[in-house]
Amino acid sequence: MKLIDFNNKAYEYNKLEKEVLDFWDKNKFFEPEYKDERDETFTIILPPPNANSPLHLGTMSGNTIQDILGRYNRMNGKKVLLLPGKDHAAIQTEVVFEKVLQKRGIRKRDLKREEFYNLCYEFCMENAKIAREQEKNIGLSADYSREKFTLDENITKIVYETFKKMFEEDGLVYRGKRIINWCVRCQTALSDIDTEYQEEDSKLYYIKYGELTVATTRPETKMADVALAVNPKDKRYRHLIGKVIDIDSIEGKRSLPVLGDSSVDINFGTGVLKVTPGHSKEDFRLGEKYNLPIIMVIDTNGKMTFEKYKGMKVKEAREKVVEDLDKMGLLEKVSDIKHNIQVCERCKSVIEPLVSYQWFVKTKELARSLIDEGEKGNPKIYPKRQEKNYLRFLENIEDWCISRQQWWGQRIPAYYCGGKITKINESGDITEEILGCGNIFVSIDKPKECPRCKSKKIVQDEDIFDTWFSSTQWPFSSLGGINGKDFKEFYPTNVMETGRDILFFWVARMGIMGLYVTEKIPFKTVYLHGLVLDKDGKKQSKSRGNGIDPKDMIDKYGRDALRLSLVSSVAPDQDFRLFEEKIKGYRNFINKVYNSSRLIFMMLEKNKNSLPSIKNSYGAYSTKTSINISREMTDHVKKINRLFKNYEIGLVAFELQNFYHHIFCDIYLEAIKPHQDDPKALGEILYVFYQNILLLHPFIPFITEHIFQDLKRLGYIDTENETMDYEIYPKL
RNA sequence: GGGUUCGUAGCUCAGUUGGUUAGAGCACAACAUUGACAUUGUUGAGGUCACUGGUUCGAAUCCUGUCGAACCCACCA
* pLDDT at residue A517 greater than cutoff 70: yes
Q: Are strands A331-344 and A244-249 parallel, antiparallel or unpaired?
A: unpaired
Give mean pLDDT, residues A220-243.
90
How high is the pLDDT of residue A142? 98
Residue pair A600/A689 in contact by the 8 Å Cβ criterion: yes
Q: What is the pLDDT of residue A387?
A: 86
Q: CA of A496 and C1' of B39: distance in angstroms?
A: 37
Segment A480-516, tens digit of pLDDT: 999 999 999 999 999 999 988 888 889 999 999 999 9
Question: Which chain A residues in 532-591 sit with Cβ < 7 A of strand B?
Answer: 533, 535, 537, 569, 571, 574-577, 581-582, 585, 587-588, 590-591
Cα(A454)–Cα(A474) distance, integer angstroms = 35
| Alpha carbon distances (Å) from A434 to A295, A407, A425, A450, A711 | 21, 23, 16, 13, 74
If one compares A110 and A6, the residue with the highest pLDDT of the two is A110
Q: Is the CB of A399 under 7 A from strand B?
A: no
The chain-wide mean pLDDT, for chain A, equals 90
Integer distance in angstroms from CA A142 to C1' B26?
A: 34
A318 is near strand B: CB distance < 7 Å: no
Report, as an integer, the average pLDDT of A455-461.
95
Distance CA A546, CA A337 (A): 34
Alpha helices in A430-529, H assignment, sequence order: 467-471, 474-477, 485-490, 509-518
Distance A632 CA to B23 C1' (A): 18
In this complex, the answer to whether residue A197 has its CB under 7 A from any atom of chain B, a nucleic strand, is yes
Instruction: List the single protein residue with the shortest CA to C1' distance from B37.
Output: A595
Q: Tell me: pLDDT of A479 over 80.
A: yes
CB A340 within 7 Å, strand B: yes
Q: What is the tens place of the pLDDT at every residue in A646-690?
A: 888 888 998 899 899 989 999 899 888 888 888 888 888 888 999
pLDDT at A122 over 70: yes
**A637 CA to B55 C1', in Å?**
37
**pLDDT(A617) > 60:** no
How far apart are the C-alpha atoms of A332 and A270, rounded to whole Å?
12
Element (H, E) at A340: strand A331-344
Q: Which of A 664-703 have CB under 7 A of nucleic chain B?
A: 665-666, 669-670, 673
| Cα angle for residues A547, A553, A558 (degrees, 5° grid) | 155
> Domains of chain A (ranges plus CATH)?
31-172+362-413+461-529 (3.40.50.620), 188-350 (3.90.740.10), 579-726 (1.10.730.10)
Is 70 exceeded by the pLDDT of residue A613?
A: no
Q: What is the Cα A595 distance to its own chain's centre?
A: 40
User: Chain B positions under 7 Å from a protein CB?
Assistant: 3-5, 11-15, 24-26, 36-42, 69-70, 72-77
pLDDT band of A576, cuts 50, 70, 90: confident
- How far is residue A574's CA from residue A532's CA, in Å, rounded to a whole number? 9
Residue A237 near residue A291 (C-beta atoms within 8 A): no
Question: What is the pLDDT at residue A426?
Answer: 65
Residues in A 471-510 whose C-beta is less than 7 A from nucleic strand B are 501, 504
Distance B63 C1' – A413 CA (angstroms): 58
Of A24-33, A345-354, A455-464, A693-702, the one with minimum mean pLDDT is A345-354
pLDDT of residue A543: 58
Give the up-direction half-sphere exposure of residue A118: CA atoms within 13 A in the CB hemisphere.
5
Give yes or no for CB of A342 within 7 Å of strand B: yes
Name which of A552, A514, A546, A519 is nearest A532 in CA terms: A546
Q: Please give the share of chain A, as a percent, with pLDDT higher than 90.
A: 57
A46 touches strand B (CB under 7 A): no
> With bands split at pLDDT 50, 70 and 90, how would you rate the model's confidence at A365?
confident
State the Cα–Cα distance between residues A508 and A530, nearest whole angstrom.
17
CA of A557: nearest nucleotide by C1' is B39
* Proportion of chain A above pLDDT 70, given as a percent: 96
Do the bridges between strand A79-83 and strand A331-344 make them parallel or antiparallel, or are there none, so unpaired?
unpaired
- DSSP-based three-state secondary structure for A89: coil
φ, ψ of residue A722 in degrees (nearest 5): -80, -30
Closest CA to A607 of A546, A685, A660: A685
Q: What pLDDT shows up at residue A542? A: 60
User: Which residues 208-227 of A interface with strand B at a CB distance below 7 A?
Assistant: 214-218
Report the largest interatomic distance among the alpha carbons of chain A, rounded to a whole angstrom: 108
Q: Is the CB of A279 under 7 A from strand B?
A: no
- Rounded distance in angstroms from the CA atom of residue A666 to the C1' atom of nucleotide B43: 15
Residues A430-455: tens digit of each pLDDT = 788 899 999 999 999 999 999 999 99
What pTM value is reported for the model? 0.92
Cβ distance A598 to A6 under 8 Å? Answer: yes
User: Is the model more confident about A245 or about A626?
Assistant: A245
State the Cα–Cα distance between residues A639 and A159, nearest whole angstrom.
44
Q: How large is the average pLDDT for residues A166-194?
A: 88
Q: How far is CA A24 from the centre of its chain?
A: 28
The pLDDT score that the predictor gives to residue A478 is: 98
Strand B lies under 7 A from the Cβ of residue A290: no
| Residue with smallest Cα–C1' gap to B3 | A389
pLDDT band, very low/low/confident/very high, at A612 (cuts 50, 70, 90): very low
Strand B lies under 7 A from the Cβ of residue A364 = no
Q: Which chain A residues 2-21 have CB under 7 A to strand B?
A: 9-11
Is residue A281 pLDDT above 80, yes or no? yes
Sequence-ordered alpha helix ranges (H) in A104-186: 113-137, 153-164
A626 touches strand B (CB under 7 A): no
Name the nucleotide with the smallest C1'–CA separation from A229.
B77
What's the Å distance between residue A190 CA and nucleotide B33 C1'? 66
- Positions of E strands within A429-492: 430-434, 440-442, 458-460, 464-465
Give A732 CA → B32 C1' in Å. Answer: 40
Distance CA A133, CA A305 (A): 52
Mean pLDDT across A242-246: 92
Confidence check: pLDDT of A623 > 90: no
